[in-house]
Chain A
Amino acid sequence: MQEQSETAENTTSEQKTVKKSPSFWAETWQRFKGRKMAMLALIYICFLGFVAVFAPAIAGTKPVICKYKGHIYFPALGYFRREWENPIFLKDRFRNRYPVNLKKKDPNSWAIWPLVYQDPYRRVYDNEWKGLPGNPTQDNGAPSLRNWFGTDQRGVDVFTQMVHGTTIALLVGFVSMGIAGVIGIIVGALAGFYGKWIDMVLSRLIEVVMCIPTLILILAIIAIIDSPTIWHMMAIIGCTGWTGIARLARAEFMKLRESDFVLAAKTTGVGQFRIIFRYILPNSLAPVLVPITFGIAAAILIESGLSFLGFGAPPPNPSWGTLLNLGRQNLQMWWLIVFPGMAIFLAVLAYNLIGEGIQEASDPRLRDAN
């Protein structure tokens, strides 16, 4: 499409007067913007992405930026990866107590702290932060001014765990559906573009994979693997969840390979590889995004469900599902269930709304009705 318009602009001026037709993407985006709920959901997901990226700056016990012994450090990065926390703090025996140790070991140091001084992995003790009492433990941690969403049995702040758990929730969705998207689009593209026996073989493959119950397979594999991690889970969700994407991509490719612009590209001698990826793919992507967004919602559900059963991310890692599991052990602590439960619900709802928004925006039958 792009190529066509470029060549059109290069030719005579009388052709320029013909109004350039908006690309499929621009048109879809235009209609998507008109749907209030879908836009609201998209904004909410962007907000979650923001929270996930800046989680250590929102809540944590490590300074975002600090000057220590003449150098600038970013200890909060240690929340993303242990190794990114500068080893000097390990050598100087900070033991994760930054406020006290910074002052004691270097009186000239300064630091910019996260908005909330709480840790997602451990309890905050008395006077760790000047004048801040320690977190309540057992079932005494009802929501209060200091712990907005309360604390769990170990005295770890729930709000901080939820902020840091956002990363896992979003990551599971994106990584698993990224894998599924790549597999699904390639399989669907090959089946739809070449047809004949390739389509025959790949369609049977899609049907076989469709029969695999995801949750059952994940549980079975977790039973076999020695030390399952969150990445195994994402890989399994991705490798089983591509069938819907492949079917839609196949249908789109079948439809578009007969269209005029593909014929034009073929007659001008464009290679098959280029036709598939540069010509057809960009035009078939919007409908394919629908199963991907619904798949992200499903992946979030599976992850939190598994963490809830105790099979998810290993225990110290904060996850919304893990919090629910803690709440199940003591139903009196409603705050361990209500807040993470609503977080999962809202994330799933938002993805479903976006998916439906794209579906209706890219559906040609509904387009004509408007």
Chain B
Amino acid sequence: MPGTPISVNMAMVDPGKELSRADIKRMEKAYGLNKPWPQAYMLWVKNVVQFDFGRSISRKQPVARLIMERIGPTLILSVSSLLLTYLLAIPIGLYSSARQGRLDERTTGTILYMLYSFPSFVAALFLQIYLANKLGWLPLYGMKSDGYSSMTATQQAWDIFKHALMPVICYTYGSLAYYSRFIRANMQEVLRQDYIRTARAKGLGPVNVLVKHAFRNTFIPLVTLIGLTLPSLLGGSVIIERIFSWPGMGQLYFESILERDYPTIMGLTLMFSILTLAGQLMADIFYALADPRVKIADH
């Protein structure tokens, strides 16, 4: 994508109003764009080490503040979707391992498999067509209605709830399918173990065996999954936030690419990378905490 933050900015405002060469030079110097990239990168690293992420060129604000503004909306979506996923996936996973091989289990299994392969952006468009456009039940996009500031607190919450419903569904169904299949697969493995046979032999009820004996062991890999979802928890999904014009981090990333806003792109990319690393580390630590056989300081 050609263009610099300055040329793009001006072309957007008014195509006829081009900056003079001297003005561009002056602005490039002011934003530090005139340096060769290795030098500019060293400067950026030096500033980041001092927790200075620079200022956004197109928005004239510090990058750190821009990111802080967008964290809230992203968390609304990701935290509620994560809670919903766990609340639904565990019962579904347990149910399908209890009714292994029956017709209802196979039907839910097939549906979950389909959902798992269904692209979330296609689902988002289908929901928009049906729920928003045809039935008119939910707002098409955005996070708040026009008269948001004049509403009471409950009305405001209801308003955000209505706006968040479709994005949360799109976030949730894929991971719901993944998690419940994951639980079922692990349960199948555990249920073959000897100690399950022992538990059954001594006359424990099926619920007791399933929940207390088997599920506790499948809980270990499940816990580590939380660590791996950390990046998406804060990073949001660029595509989903874009479709629903949700003012979160993914949308900010998308906008800053269109505006060639390098400081914001760099800041967000750095943040996503750190989150991914932290998530991997968390997964390992959780594993050691949940499973006493794994020790952190081994070898």
B239 close to chain A: CB less than 8 A: yes
Give bound CA distance, A258 to B265, whole Å.
48
Are A345 and B122 within 8 A (Cβ)?
Answer: yes
**Most B CB within 10 A of own CB, among A213, A227, A228, A337:** A213
A212-B273, A216-B235, A334-B129 given as contacts; is B122 within 8 A of A309 (CB)?
no
Residues of A within 8 A of B286 (CB): none
A150 → B minimal CB distance (Å): 14
Which residue from chain A places its CB closest to the CB of B239 in the assembled complex? A305
Contact A226 B238 (CB under 8 A): no
Query: How many Å lie between the Cα of A216 and that of B238 in the bound state?
Result: 9
- Mask, B228-269, CB within 8 Å of A = 1, is 000100010011001100000000011001001000010011
Q: Please, which residue of chain A has its CB at the minimum distance from the CB of B189?
A: A365
Q: Is the CB of A219 within 8 A of B257?
A: yes
**Is B272 an interface residue when CB atoms closer than 8 A count as contact?**
yes
Interface flags for A50-88 (1: CB within 8 Å of B; 0: not) read: 000000000000000000000000000000000000000
**A301 engages B119 (CB within 8 Å):** yes
Q: In the complex, which of the residues B128, B133, B269 contacts A216, with contact meaning CB atoms closer than 8 Å?
A: B269
Does A111 count as interface, using CB distance less than 8 angstroms?
Answer: no
| CB proximity to B under 8 Å, residues A216-247 | 216-217, 219-220, 222-223, 225-228
Residues of A within 8 A of B238 (CB): 215-216, 219, 309
Closest Cβ–Cβ distance, residue B253 to chain A (whole Å): 7
Contacts A223-B1, A331-B129, A337-B125 given; does A305 touch B119 at CB 8 Å: yes
| B132, B239, B265: the one within 8 Å of A220 (CB) | B265
- The complex places the Cα of A210 from the Cα of B283 at a distance, in Å, of 14
Q: Which residue of B114, B118, B121, B280 is within 8 Å of A324 (Cβ)?
A: B121
Contact of A297 among B117, B140, B260, B265 (CB under 8 A): B117
B126 at the interface (CB under 8 A from A): yes
Judge if B16 is at the interface, Cβ distance under 8 Å: no
Q: Is A106 an interface residue (CB 8 A)?
A: no
User: What are the residues of chain A within 8 A of B116 when measuring CB–CB?
Assistant: 352
**Chain B, Cβ-Cβ closest to A297:** B117
Asked if A348 meets B117 with Cβ closer than 8 Å, knowing A216-B253, A227-B2, A332-B133, the reply is: yes
Chain A residues with CB under 8 A of B276: 211-213
- Contact partners of B239 in chain A: CB under 8 A: 305, 308-309
Q: Does B6 touch A at the CB level, under 8 Å?
A: no
| B81: min CB distance to chain A, Å | 18
Query: For A211, A222, A225, A227, which residue has the most chain B Cβ atoms within 10 angstroms?
Result: A211
Interface contact B1-A222, CB-CB below 8 Å: yes
- In the complex, which of the residues A305, A327, A337 has the most CB atoms of chain B within 10 Å of its own CB atom? A305
Is A304 located at the chain interface by the 8 A CB criterion? yes
A341 CB-CB contact with B under 8 Å = yes
Q: Is B277 an interface residue (CB 8 A)?
A: yes
From A227, A301, A309, A327, B254 is in contact (CB under 8 Å) with A309
User: How many Å lie between the Cα of A310 and that of B122 in the bound state?
Assistant: 15
Of residues 199 through 217 on chain A, the ones whose CB sits less than 8 Å from some CB of chain B are 207, 210-213, 215-217
A207 CB to nearest chain B CB (Å): 7
Tell me, yes or no, whether A349 is within 8 Å of chain B by CB.
yes
Q: How far is the CA of A303 from the CA of B143 in the complex (A)?
A: 28
B243 touches A352 (CB 8 A): no
**A212 proximity list for chain B (CB < 8 A):** 273, 276
For chain B, residues 87 to 141, give those with C-beta under 8 angstroms from any C-beta of chain A: 113-114, 116-119, 121-122, 125-126, 128-129, 132-133, 140
Which A residues are CB-close (under 8 A) to B268? 216
Establish whether residues A345 and B119, one from each chain, have CB atoms under 8 Å apart when the complex forms: yes
Question: Chain A 140-168, CB within 8 Å of chain B: the 1/0 string?
Answer: 00000000000000000000000000000
User: A276 within 8 Å of B by Cβ?
Assistant: no
Closest to A217 in B: B269
Q: A82-121: contact bitstring with B at CB < 8 Å (1 yes, 0 no)? A: 0000000000000000000000000000000000000000
In the bound complex, residues from chain B placing their C-beta under 8 Å from that of A328 are 125, 243
Interface membership of A344, Cβ < 8 A: yes
Task: Report A-chain residues with C-beta under 8 Å of the C-beta of B133.
Answer: 331-332
Q: Which residues of B contact A327 (CB under 8 A)?
A: 125
Contact A211 B280 (CB under 8 A): yes
- Nearest Cβ in chain A — how far from B295, in angstroms? 19
A213 touches B117 (CB 8 A): no
**Contact between chains at A223 and B257 (CB < 8 Å):** yes
Kindly list chain A residues whose C-beta atoms are within 8 Å of the C-beta of B113: 349, 352
Q: How far is the CB of A3 from chain B (nearest CB, A)?
A: 37
Q: Given the complex of chains A and B, what is the CA–CA distance between A309 and B117 in angstroms?
A: 20
A208: nearest chain-B partner, CB-CB = B277
With known contacts A327-B125, A332-B133, A219–B253 Cβ distance under 8 A? yes
Of B118, B265, B272, the contact of A213 (CB 8 Å cutoff): B272
From B121, B235, B265, residue with most partner A Cβ within 10 Å: B121
Q: Which residues of B contact A210 (CB under 8 A)?
A: 280
**For the complex, what is the distance from the CA of A155 to the CA of B69, rounded to whole Å?**
42
List of B residues within 8 angstroms of A301 by Cβ: 119
Q: Enumerate chain B residues within 8 angstroms of A228, measured Cβ to Cβ.
A: 1
Query: What's the least CB distance linking B86 to chain A, in Å?
Result: 23
Residues of B within 8 A of A309 (CB): 238-239, 242, 254
Q: How far in angstroms is the closest Cβ of chain A from B285?
A: 15
On whether the beta carbons of B117 and A349 are closer than 8 Å, the reply is yes
A-contact 0/1 string along B47-62, CB 8 Å cutoff? 0000000000000000
Give chain B nearest CB distance to A311 CB in angstroms: 8
Give me 30 A-to-B residue pairs in the complex whose CB atoms sit less than 8 angstroms apart, sorted by A's number: A211-B276, A212-B273, A213-B276, A216-B235, A216-B253, A216-B269, A219-B238, A222-B257, A225-B1, A226-B2, A304-B119, A304-B121, A305-B119, A309-B238, A309-B239, A309-B254, A328-B125, A331-B128, A331-B132, A331-B140, A337-B126, A337-B129, A338-B126, A341-B119, A341-B125, A344-B122, A345-B118, A345-B122, A348-B119, A349-B114
